Amino acid sequence: MTSQERAAVYRKIDPEAWQRLFVVGDLHGCYDLLLDKLARRGFNKQHDLLISVGDLIDRGPENLQCLKLLNEPWFCAVRGNHEQMAIDALQTGDNGLWLANGGSWFLRLGDEGQRNAQRLITRCARLPLVIDIPMADRHIVIAHADYPADDYGFERPISAEEVLWSRRRISRNQRGRGVTISGATHFFFGHTPLNRIRNYYNQYYIDTGAVFGGELSLVELKALPV
């Protein structure tokens, strides 16, 4: 991986540019649920930033609306495996894997809706795999499924497939065989639906199955314990 490619994999966010910072679990088309959650938390679109752990689309009812969040200055995201499936399907013409995992909403759109969705899915290919937020008293890293090393380093070469798909770390954590990831204080992941937020060592898993009737988890980052 070249240095230019590594730069596209990681994105650094300045926490001082925002009054409040939130990270949200996998949306999977649950747009109205997100708006309701933000309203109840007093989210201010002029001053606050919402960061998604990826999987904006598939399985839920409002996929195009969730993709349109990419146009909002108060929203950013890492790429999830469902975005990657959509990207691959549109690039190759083979949509079997995407359709098998909730992508059929795209086929139900009209021509204009599909064109809009295609443009936004193309933008998803430019989403980072890792968002890095250095603070004075904590250092937060956000990725979709995993950070595939036990020692974090900004712009360190990593496997995109593992970042997007791997459940090895959470499986080890659940068996009591996990470890702290050095190099940052807090890591946030989605990808694996759980009945509540799970914290193992310095890792937080916040996909709480909103699309399956669970909670949509929203965590305020500056309010985390040091």
Which tens digits make up the pLDDT trace of 15-60?
999 999 999 999 999 999 999 999 999 999 999 999 999 999 999 9
Length of the chain: 226
8 or 98: which carries more pLDDT confidence? 98
Question: Is a pLDDT exceeding 90 seen at residue 170?
Answer: yes
What whole-number distance in Å separates Cα of residue 133 and Cα of residue 145? 18
CB–CB of 127/77 below 8 Å?
yes
Report the pLDDT value the prediction gives residue 103, as an integer from 0 to 100: 98
Report the pLDDT value the prediction gives residue 144, as an integer from 0 to 100: 98
Q: What pLDDT band is residue 108 in, cutting at 50, 70 and 90?
A: very high
| CB-facing half-sphere around the CA of 206: CA atoms within 13 A | 27
Catalytic residue, candidates 28, 82, 144, 191: 82
Report the pLDDT value the prediction gives residue 225, as an integer from 0 to 100: 84
Going from N- to C-terminal start, the domains of the chain cover 3-223
Question: pLDDT of 182-224, one tens digit each?
Answer: 999 999 999 999 999 999 999 999 999 999 999 999 999 999 9
Q: What pLDDT band is residue 226 in, cutting at 50, 70 and 90?
A: confident
Report the pLDDT value the prediction gives residue 193, as an integer from 0 to 100: 98
Angle at 158 between CA 204 and CA 80, to 5 degrees: 55
The domain 3-223 is placed in CATH, from the list 1.10.1750.10, 3.30.365.10, 3.40.50.261, 3.60.21.10, at 3.60.21.10
147 φ/ψ angles, rounded to the nearest 5 degrees: -105, 115
Question: Is a pLDDT exceeding 60 seen at residue 95?
Answer: yes
Question: Is a pLDDT exceeding 80 seen at residue 13?
Answer: yes
Alpha carbon of 103 to those of 13, 54, 87, 191: distances in Å?
Answer: 30, 15, 11, 16
What whole-number distance in Å separates Cα of residue 204 and Cα of residue 201? 8
28 tagged catalytic: no
Report the pLDDT value the prediction gives residue 4, as an integer from 0 to 100: 36
Q: Kindly provide the b/e burial profile for residues 46-82, where b requires at least 16 CB atoms within 10 angstroms of the residue's own CB.
A: eebbbbbbbbbbbbbebbbbbbbbbeeebbbbbbbbb
Q: What is the mean pLDDT of the chain?
A: 95
In order, the DSSP letters of the chain are: --HHHHHHHEEE--GGG-S-EEEE---TT-HHHHHHHHHHTT--TTT-EEEE-S--SSSSS-HHHHHHGGG-TTEEE---HHHHHHHHHHHHS--HHHHHTTGGGGGGS-HHHHHHHHHHHHHHTTS-SEEEEE-SS-EEEEESS--SSSB--TT----HHHHHH--HHHHHHHTT---PPBTSSEEEE-SS--SS-EEETTEEE----GGGTS---EEEGGGS--
Q: What pLDDT band is residue 2 in, cutting at 50, 70 and 90?
A: very low
Report the pLDDT value the prediction gives residue 129, as an integer from 0 to 100: 98
